[in-house]
Every structure is written in structure tokens, then in C-alpha cells.
Structure 1
Amino acid sequence: MHALFTEHASKHYHYLRDTMPHLVPRLRPTVTSGSDFGKEDKIDEEAERGKEFLEKVVTGVENARPGGRVHTQLLEAAAVDLDRLAEMDHRMEGAARFTALYIRCLLLLKSILKEFSILSTNSVSTSPLPNTTTNVSVLLQNTQKLQRLFSGLSENEIILANDVWLKALAVELIRVTRSVTGRSALPLARHFLSEADILPQDTTKLPSFSRALVLQIPTLADVKPGSLTRMLLPLLLTPALQGEERLPRPSVSTRFCRAIIEEPRGDADAALKFTGGLLLGIPLTAKILNLRDPSILRIKLRHPDQQVQLLLPRQSDLRLQNTEQNDYRLRTTVLLSHQVWMEACNVEISLALLVPSSAVCTHSPLDDPCVIDLCKPTKVSIAPKPIKR
């Protein structure tokens, strides 16, 4: 029945289902004929093909010789192929996106380490290259996406995600220690040590970098940023042996967190007018799929002057829809205020996760790695008007 609803009727159904769940039943698909069993077999067969394709891509990259130009090209091609797999097969979306994001973290890490090696051979200049800061910021954000946006991961995938997160913290520590901006690297060093202390003492299942941290950090005479940098840089620059670097192989049960904004639509022609300096309420309705921690969900506002605001939604506005997959529905009103503008301008509204990590979140608000976007922003045109006298 739900498939026969128009878009308008579907919105009314979801609204009544949210507000009066004791009166409005959940519409579930029912098996009416034996042909549906054939469809299920076809879906299972497509999922198996997706798993085989993922395994083939991962195995091809692992068997290549690491460190060369061909290996980098294989990683880039694998990330593109996995993105296509995620778009074509919704059951493999979580596994494909996790593996593609992990591969992009490896590519960013290679680029950053290449810049570090250039700076190591050049003893004249100690300032980082211009794009190093941007690459490190993107790497920090991508590694936190691996840890925050995916659920249903196995132990091996969690270990690999934590390993590349420690590598990202290490390159950020090296960058800050070598910079001439005067910023202290001590808080970041303490944060890195606290993350490394979580590693298990049994190093049999750990990757080479995490294993080296467990063995070498206790041998340091002092754990100041300079001594940590001298220990970490050789570990990062040492190339991996063929067959040593392993890629993740997530299962079909891996789920990806994302948001879908239903209202505002962003296609309205007329601007929302209000008196400058007063409040404007913008209704916001959205679905958040596979949300692990609702406490870090934020409403993100980007103003025309590129100022970013992160708003905490009320708990009563966020309702759990599916307990098995942690799907939520957000229905709230975004309050916005601004002074008078000469003409109407767009305000971007989106949903994001705010990662609680003060030691890392020292970048500019426009590229803050601790703010993880869950969807593309929706543009709303507003026009603050002067007070009529």
C-alpha cells in the first residue's frame, strides 16, 4: 500500500506515524505469491556478486608492489570502482563506502609523507608546504568518518580504522611540531599517547604501525613532542613490504550513516522575509539512517559570510524509528536571526556530527575535521528587512 502513496500522502502518513504511532500502524510489505521468493534469491545472488567484486578489488591491490606509481594508480582505480559499487548495490553500500574511504586515507597519507620526505631532505626550510595543512585536515576528517559513520564492523575493520586514525594523529603531531606558528604541540602529544594507550598488548592482530607503537613508546626516555616526532617519522616513512599491508573486507551487514533532508526543499523561488534582528523559524524535517550516537548530532548553518553555526536539536524533536538499524526522524524548527541585508542571500542548512576531540579541532571552522557532514546542504533564501516605522 505504501508504494501506491503519492508524495503528498506519504508525507502525511509519516507525520501521523510519528505523532500518533498507537493509532497509525506500520505498513509492512507482505508476500502475496511465490514469485517473491525468486526475487529474494535474485537479491542474494546480487549481494554475492558484490562481495566477490569487493574481494577481487581488494586482493588485486594487496598483491601489487607497494610504494610505486602502479600501486598508487591501483588504489585510485579501486576507490572509484567501489564508489560505483556503492551506488549500484544498496546492500553493499556500507562495505563499499568503508573500503573506498579507507583507500582514500591511504592515498592522502602517501601524499603527506611524500611532502614530509621532501622537507626531511631539505635542511634549509622547516615550514610545511602550502597544501600539507589541507591534506592533514582532510585525512583527520576521513579517519574520523571511518570510526563514526559505520556500524556492524568486524574486529579486523575496527583495528584497521584505529590504525589509520593513529597515523593521521601522528602526521598532525609532526606537522605542528615542525611548524613555526608558535602553537604548542603538547596537548596533541598527550592526546596521541592516550589514543595509543588503548591499543591491546597482544600485538599478533595489530598492523605494523600499531605494533611498533606498542613496542617502542614504553622505551622512550621522555614523551615530549620532539622525541615522539623523531620516533614516528621513520615509522611512517618506512615502506611496507609486499603482502604486509592489508585492506579491510567489511561484511554485507556494514551500514553507513547518512541523512536525508525532506524539508526545506531548497527549490522555493520566493525568499523568506523577516524583520532584521528578530527571529525566523525554518521548519526542518529529516531522516538520519544508522545513527550510532544521537548526542553528537548537530544542525549545521552556513551563512553568506561563511560563518558556521552548530545547533544542538532538542531530544524531543529526535525520534527513533527503527531500533534494529538506529534510524531516526528529526522534526524541529531552526531559529535564525541576522541584521538587514541589501538583498536576499542563501543560508545553507545541513546535518553533521560533532566529534568531541578538542586536541585535534584546532583548524578553521570551514575545514574543521571534527565536523562530519551527513548530507549535502540545502539552500534557503532569506531576506532580513528593516523595521517599518
Structure 2
Amino acid sequence: MLLQTASDISSFLDEKQEFQPDDLATSLLNQLGSIVDPKPGRVFREILPLVQAASPVKMPPPNVEIKMCVANILEPCPQMSQDNVIKVTAGLIAALPFVAEIDNLQDAQKQDMRIKIKYPDQHTHTVVPKLSDFRKIMTEQGAHETNVKLRTTILLSHSVWTEASSVEITLCLAVRPGTELELCKPAKILFAPKPVRRGI
């Protein structure tokens, strides 16, 4: 794991020439890159002298401009969702209003926002909201620059279930292909795809 991480960091630094590691980081990466036998004891013996000989590094001041992006799903409301079952004929589509407030979302991140729908059989469906679905939240001081409200409609569909089951809906930020960061706890709704009624 450590050797793989060191390899990833070295590749990143090769691509991003503007980032220059300090002397200790350079020594550690070079030493870890030259290790052929990845046994823990060997790795420990190789890097211990470098760490012990390193001089203290002055930490840079914290960046107070960094803020955590979080979300709060307003609709579907958790209390109402567990009381009301969404019933639909299997294979057809149920439209569900979706409203959420997102704090500290940059304009450039709106295109990376995803709504993830997870069914009980572990099947996952991802929805990409339109940019027009985002609105800045108005306060007494005017429109907030980084706090937005997302209002859209999501579509649910599945084959027949024997009874109503929970479907989880959550907001995610796609940071890179195949990797998504969840911004809130999932909202749960009861969904019941029923068999087609056949007349006589």
C-alpha cells in the first residue's frame, strides 16, 4: 500500500511540474521507488534513517478559504417518505420531485453534481442535473455566492417487487471518473413496482 501510494505521488509530481516536493519527500520517494522487496520489515529499515535524520519542517499557515461542501435533501422529506409508498406499474416510470440545498458549491462544480439512486438489489442509477436546475439561495443580504438550491425531478423505474422496499437517494460530487463523494446522508423512500393488471 505504501509503495503504491509513493508510486502514485511520483507519477502525479511528474505530471504537475509546478509542485516541487521538499528534500525529505524527494528522498523518501526515491528510496521507496528503489525497493525491490516490498516486505514491511525491509521497507521500515529503508526509510527509518531518512525520517530520523530529517529536520523539522515549518508548516504553512492554514488556508482559511477552504470550506466543506455539504448538502441537505429537503424533498423527499424523510418523515413523509416512510409513510407514503410510491406505487407504479412495473416497468413504467414514477416522477419524484427532488429539492436540496447545497452549501459552498463553486460554479465550476455544478457540472460535477450527481444524484445517485440506489435500489434494494444494489442496482445504482446516476442522474446528472441540468445547470438550469441550480438557483442561488436568496438571503436578506442578497443572493449567496456559493449556497444554492437544486430543484429537479428524478425518475424511478424497476421490475416487479413482492413488497414495498426502500430506495436511497443521495447527492454526490464526481471528483474523477468512477469516484464520487457523498455530500449528505441518503434520503429513503418506499417504492413499490406492482405487476401489470390484466383484465378478463
Q: TM-score range by the shorter chain?
A: 0.7 to 0.9
Change (3 A) 1:302 1:196: same
Question: Which of 145, 161, 165 matches 1:345?
Answer: 165
- Taking structure 1 as the reference length, the TM-score comes to 0.40
Q: Unaligned 5+ residue runs, structure 1?
A: 1-169, 175-188, 362-369
Change (3 A) 1:252 1:194: closer
2:190 pairs with 1:381: yes
Question: Which of 60, 68, 72 matches 1:256?
Answer: 68
Deviation at 1:351? 0.2
Q: Distance in 2 between matches of 1:371 and 1:264?
A: 22
Within-5 A mapping of 1:126-165: none
Larger relative CO (CA 8 A, sep 6+): 1 or 2? 2
Partner of 1:212: 27
Q: Distance in 1 between matches of 2:155 and 2:46?
A: 47
2:91 pairs with 1:277: yes
Q: Distance in 2 between matches of 1:235 and 1:326?
A: 48
Partner of 1:316: 132
- Taking structure 2 as the reference length, the TM-score comes to 0.73
Change (3 A) 1:338 1:288: same
Change (3 A) 1:259 1:172: farther
Q: Distance in 2 between matches of 1:283 and 1:173?
A: 44
2:144 pairs with 1:328: no
Partner of 1:195: 12
Q: What is the root-mean-square deviation in Å for CA atoms of aligned residues?
A: 3.7
Counterpart secondary structure, 1:255: coil
Deviation at 1:248? 7.1
Counterpart secondary structure, 2:98: strand
Deviation at 1:171? 3.3
Partner of 1:173: 4
Choose between structure 1 and 2: higher strand proportion: 2
Q: Is the 8 A contact 2:13 2:20 kept in 1?
A: no
Opposite residue 86 of structure 2, the aligned amino acid is L
Q: Distance in 1 between matches of 2:12 and 2:45?
A: 17
Partner of 2:56: 244
Deviation at 1:289? 1.0
Counterpart secondary structure, 1:291: coil
Percent identity of paired positions between Structure 1 and Structure 2: 33
Counterpart secondary structure, 2:79: coil
